[in-house]
A and B are shown apart, each in its own frame.
Chain A
Amino acid sequence: MKKSKLMTLNKAIFQYVNDGDSIVMGSGLESMIPFAAAYELVRQQKKNLNLIAPISDILFDILIGAGLVLKITAAWSGNVSAGLGHNYRRSLEKGIPHRVQVEDHSNFTLGLALLAGSMGIPFLPTKTLLGTDLLRSNPRFKVEKSPFGDERFVYVPSLNPDVAILGVQRADEDGGCHFWGNLGLSQDAALASKKVILLAEEIVSKETISSDPNRVLLPSFKVTAVVHCPAFSHPSPMQGYYKRDHDFFHEYHQVTKQEAGFQDWLHKWVLTPSSHEDYIRLLGERVEQLRVKQRITAPEINYAFQ
């Protein structure tokens, strides 16, 4: 019997995220973003993080405002349904709380960087970004002729992040997991990263996971820790479990216009609750209102061999 990888969120973040780490969070773009882990990073006051994601809605803005971030490696940072990210703006325009470094990407180049990392090669070529100023603001991109002809390509250097923190619908104690919905860059990020922390809505048996191997996101040996963390994605949505809490994003946009307002927000929602369970209690009936009650199921498929 293998040793269980199941542990609390507190312990997983304490044990497997170090100051200065590069961390993928929100690789699925707007859905299943591991906000619970972001809040725990703030509670544990992790420092000098390099956050990697294409678009992770307000997660980056929160961590930038909380002062944890040295650098973002991203395609987009803001508030998807409400507008700009006020903390991101304060950081880059006024140095509040400090100026974060930005490694500019598009969604595609970030995807290629993680894909190259997952493939174990140093770069991948692409036609995207030719002629753009991303080539100027991110000097890591190189433009070179192809060795097979005269065509020019952007060469995107690979990324192998220290940790990927990924949300899934269900996992077993060994790190086998089922994921459904849009993938974004989650699979590329999972395969490219040195450590993978899974936040799972439900913990299920190993038999449940192996009953449907096509729905498995990555092999369990790549998984470092499994955390049972219901509603970890709030306020972002999780297919089959929770709707998106639109109001929460819009309230955040309103109250964080001033830095003091952000500090109040952080105190209320992140620092006062001592754990994710406390945060869920603070949300109160909101969680029940967001819970998906309907069922839309796929017909069974047959894996039999006799």
Chain B
Amino acid sequence: MEYTTEELMVVAAAREIQNHEVVFVGMRLPMLAFGVAKKLHAPNAVGFFECGIVRDEPSEELLYTMGDPPNIAGASWCTSTNHLMFLMQQGLIDIGFIGGAQIDKYGNVNTSYLGDINQPTVKLPGSGGAADIACLSKRLLVIMSHEKRRLVDKVDYITSPGFGSGQNWRKHSGLPRGGTSSLITNLAILKPDDETKELHIQSIHPGVSEDKVKDHTGWDIQISPNVSSTPPPTKEELDVLRSIDPRGFWTKRKQTGVKLQ
């Protein structure tokens, strides 16, 4: 069965959600990953949306933003952003999902400034809730495109901290828990080494070579001793994903479906 890279990424992200987990769901692709997980292997997962929504069931319509009306109808709680952040600060969020523009070998994410903060070459949108999710959730999952300019040795600016400069950095910084547990790209899945906390290649997507992953990474990336091939999405996973995003708006299946004048 054919699928797009984005579909593979969403399905891989969905598989990281365990049943009964409380999930802090970020903008864009993570919203789909939560929906897929809920409808398949994690029916009891709970979703937190930073705009102030908690859901036990995924929304009935595709979301373009988490504040869309279908995400509020049938929610289990509508509240303030602060209340959800308070619960996350207590340690009640198992996994948080974010996207990014730049990430480094220790899983630190930059969504703020490329180049100097006083004269940026690119001004990115900023943290939103991403820095909070990275600081306060138990596990952080990052989804982004795999390019040499994006996967760099050291980010220009830490918006959302992974493991900082390596082992024990989070503890020294005073962060209570957490760290980047997976980076899902269009080429591979990267995970931190238990000792060094440096991201290494855990699994490679079907049809992608080891050399290609290395060539597209901005540091001398190591390969896990038990590296595997990412299992392709099953028919069941794709059916569920396509029922949530029938026109492939987020997964680039066809035209976006949005009329542009």
Contacts and interface: CB of A to CB of B under 8 A. Distances in A.
Interface stretch (A7-15, A40-48, A124-132, A200-208): A124-132
Nearest to B114: A93
Interface string B142-163: 0000000000000001111100
Interface stretch (B9-17, B35-43, B76-84, B221-229): B76-84
B92 to A, nearest CB: 13
11 contacts: A85-B125, A93-B123, A108-B85, A131-B170, A133-B112, A133-B158, A133-B159, A137-B112, A182-B51, A183-B80, A183-B81
Q: Bin chain B's interface residue count.
A: 35 or more
A130 B126 CA distance: 16
Interface in A99-153: 104-108, 111-112, 115, 126-134, 136-137, 143, 151-153
Given A81-B64, A184-B51, A239-B69, A29 B81 contact: yes
Nearest to B49: A182
A184 B80 contact: yes
A88 B85 contact: no
Interface of A: 28-31, 54-55, 57, 74-78, 80-81, 84-85, 88-89, 91-93, 104-108, 111-112, 115, 126-134, 136-137, 143, 151-153, 180-188, 236-237, 239-240, 243-244, 246-247, 249-251, 254, 292, 296
A194 B151 CA distance: 45
B255 interface: no
A149 to B, nearest CB: 12
A181 B82 contact: no
B260 A107 contact: no
Nearest to A145: B174
Contacts of B44: none
Contacts of A240: 69
A131 B172 CA distance: 9
Interface string B188-231: 00000000000000000000000000000000000000000000
Given A81-B64, A108-B81, A152-B174, 19 more contacts: A76-B128, A80-B65, A93-B121, A106-B128, A106-B130, A108-B129, A111-B80, A111-B81, A111-B82, A111-B85, A127-B135, A127-B176, A128-B89, A131-B135, A137-B113, A137-B157, A185-B82, A239-B69, A246-B64
B159 A134 contact: yes
- Which among A76, A108, A126, A185 has the highest number of chain B CB atoms within 10 Å? A108
A181 B67 CA distance: 9
Among B123, B124, B260, the most chain A Cβ lie within 10 Å of the Cβ of B123
